[in-house]
Amino acid sequence: MMMLLLDIGNTNLRWALARSEDAFEVEVARHSGAVPLDVLARWEVLDPPSRLIVGNVGGAAVGESVRRVAHAYWGLEPEFVSVRAAWRDLRIAYADPSRLGVDRWLALIEAHASVDGAVLIVDAGTAVTYDLILGDGRHLGGSILPGIEMMRSSLLAGTQIPRIESEPSGRSWATDTGSAIAAGSVQAVAALADRLFEHLAHEAGAEPSMLLSGGDADRIASAIQAPCEMVPDLVLRGLARVVRELS
Ligand SMILES: Nc1ncnc2c1ncn2[C@@H]1O[C@H](COP(=O)(O)OP(=O)(O)OP(=O)(O)O)[C@@H](O)[C@H]1O
Ligand SMILES: CC(C)(CO)[C@@H](O)C(=O)NCCC(=O)O
Ligand SMILES: [K+]
């Protein structure tokens, strides 16, 4: 029996078929509040999945679109995962855990299960989220920044700065507008990662691990000084793990 796993962010939808334990290939598509046409075309020719498991932070409209498609294609009711205050030894720091994005919770589950000791998770997508967890499963909390693209677009929307596209040069300062903006956003995201890494090391009393995920992970990786590991499918892996242990 095959499960379809779905991680819906504010910009992109990631999906994978969980055929066996954890061998799956991830596909990414931009959504605009509905299941995009190229994904529909792929799903149309799938063997009907036995379950459809969804982590959704992309809003009610795209969730409803997934529900309609699942009914129409497979007569299946999607299972939307929600955050639990405690899951095994993982305890969420938020006073109201339901406020924590489910993508962050799934990333925490996977990070804690797959890494010994304290972990800093950096998920750089539409927004950038940071989560700190100790080796005993205690979540300390986190931080949220606008994503790199959003930093740039909000800066340009709120000023008269001319629109000049540029990629950062790898240095933390620049000598032209486009590179200065690109450098600013990438360095901001990376610098907060390094700062939180230091704070977590202090809290944990040992060197933590850092996991990097999200569409902008490779844009920020080289600007981060602390050692970090890329895990592009962290949220989907967390989803696969939650379902395995739920059923
Ligand atoms: N207009 C845009 N708004 C936001 N992000 C954009 C835009 N255009 C391009 N991007 C880029 O799209 C990618 C989105 O990353 P990713 O796929 O990880 O996000 P997501 O999972 O949809 O977001 P999130 O989980 O933060 O809601 C990033 O590389 C981001 O910089
Ligand atoms: C921050 C995002 C958008 C990142 O995907 C998502 O995790 C979310 O909508 N979170 C809710 C707010 C919070 O986590 O505190
Ligand atoms: K994400």
Mean pLDDT, residues 30-43? 97
Atom of ligand 1 nearest to the CA of 148: 31
pLDDT at 247: 62
- State percent of the chain over pLDDT 70: 98
As beta bridge partners, residue 17 has: 4
Query: Residue 154 pLDDT > 70, yes or no?
Result: yes
Name the active-site residue from 103, 131, 216, 233.
Answer: 103
**In a 3-state reduction of DSSP, which class is residue 20?**
coil
pLDDT averaged over the chain? 95
State how far the alpha carbon of 142 is from the alpha carbons of 80, 85, 94, 115, 123, in Å: 23, 15, 9, 18, 11
Tell whether ligand 1 has an atom less than 6 A from the beta carbon of residue 148: yes
- The answer to whether domain 3-80 and domain 98-232 are alike in fold is yes
Tell whether ligand 1 has an atom less than 6 A from the beta carbon of residue 203: no
Tell whether ligand 1 has an atom less than 6 A from the beta carbon of residue 101: no
Residue whose Cα lies nearest atom 3 of ligand 2: it is 127
Dist. CA 78 → ligand 2 center (Å): 21
Q: Does the annotation mark 103 as catalytic?
A: yes
Query: Residue 13 pLDDT > 80, yes or no?
Result: yes
Tell whether ligand 1 has an atom less than 6 A from the beta carbon of residue 127: yes
Dist. CA 123 → ligand 3 center (Å): 6
Topology of domain 3-80, CATH: Nucleotidyltransferase; domain 5 (3.30.420)
Q: Which ipTM was obtained for this model?
A: 0.94
Q: Which residue has the tokens 């109201």?
A: 96
Let me know: does 85 contact 97? Beta carbons within 8 Å: yes
List the alpha helices (DSSP H) in the chain. Answer: 37-44, 60-74, 102-114, 148-157, 177-204, 217-220, 234-246
Residue whose Cα lies nearest atom 11 of ligand 2: it is 101
Residues 171-230 have pLDDT tens digits of 889 999 999 999 999 999 999 999 999 999 999 999 999 999 999 999 999 999 999 999
Cα–Cα distance, 35 to 59 (Å, whole number):
12
Mean pLDDT, residues 110-122? 98
First to last CA, the chain: 13
- The token duo for 171 is 């240095």
Mean pLDDT, residues 127-150? 98
Model confidence at 1, in pLDDT bands (50, 70, 90)? confident
- State percent of the chain over pLDDT 90: 90
Top pLDDT among 172 and 145 is at 145
Query: Residue 9 pLDDT > 90, yes or no?
Result: yes
pLDDT at 20: 64
Domain at 98-232, CATH from 3.40.50.150, 3.30.420.40, 1.10.8.60, 3.40.190.290: 3.30.420.40
Query: Residue 21 pLDDT > 70, yes or no?
Result: no
Domain ranges of the chain: 3-80, 98-232
pLDDT at 244: 84
